[in-house]
Copies of this chain bind each other. A is one copy, B any other.
């Protein structure tokens, strides 16, 4: 399965999502993470401690792709319309991480419109990330808005936990973090990977 993670806007936990999904898919079948972000965030994250899966540059992707069952592609922050359609064409699932706020939602609709023009929306699946804790209903509200717009979403949402930041800082996956909420954080991506593989 080829999973592409893309978004029109930075700060949506795109790299975090790509890395954790790669790790979870890797537990299932050999998985390759392709770092297509010009900031090379995933590569530098990997460099600190090393992940249990292989991380390669965009240019090396073709060379390795045959050897792996799953491929997760972390794309650049703001792809052009053409890029986006090509990305969608070249994958099985296009995951778009989205934080629950109005401005992100606006840019999401730009993205989905672009996909619809290319008849490429079939592979789209939106993942809510950095969802604030429960007295806030931002997560539920955005899910409702997306359901109304007939856009496919993961039922699982990724909650806002300090553990994710710590993981990025230390260059490890969130389940290796020493924090009371690391397990909760990890379980969110576990549930997403279950949805993905089912």
User: Residues on A close to B: CB < 8 A?
Assistant: 8-12, 15, 39, 41, 44, 47-49, 77-78, 99, 101-104, 106-107, 110, 132, 136, 138, 162, 165, 168-171
Closest to A100 in B: B165
Asked if B10 and A101 sit within 8 Å, CB to CB, the answer is: no
Shortest Cβ gap from A19 to chain B (Å): 11
Whether the Cβ atoms of A39 and B110 lie closer than 8 Å is yes
Smallest Cβ distance from A46 to chain B, in angstroms?
11
Give chain B residues whose Cβ lies under 8 Å from the Cβ of A99: 11
Copies in the complex: 4
A34: min CB distance to chain B, Å: 18
Contact A170 B170 (CB under 8 A): yes
Interchain CB contact under 8 A, A102 and B165:
yes
Q: Within the assembled complex, what's the spacing in Å between the Cα atoms of A47 and B106? A: 14
- Given the interface pairs A9-B10, A12-B11, the reply to whether A39 lies near B168 with Cβ below 8 Å is no
Q: Which listed residue (B41, B103, B110) contacts A106, Cβ 8 A? A: B41
CA gap between A169 and B44 in the complex, in Å: 18
The answer, among B11, B47, B106, B110, for a CB contact under 8 Å with A10, is B11
Question: Which residues from chain B contact A103 at a C-beta distance below 8 Å?
Answer: 15, 41, 168
Partner pick for A136 among B39, B44, B104, B162, CB 8 A cutoff: B162
A174–B198 Cα gap in the complex (Å)? 41
Chain B contacts for A136, CB-based, 8 A: 162
**Cβ contact within 8 Å between B171 and A101:** no
Chain B: CB-nearest residue to A12? B11
- Chain B residues with CB under 8 Å of A104's CB are 11
B77 touches A10 (CB 8 A): yes
Which residues of the partner chain B approach A8 to less than 8 Å between Cβ atoms? 39
Query: Which 5 pairs from chain A and chain B are nearest by CB?
Result: A11-B11, A10-B10, A102-B169, A9-B10, A101-B165
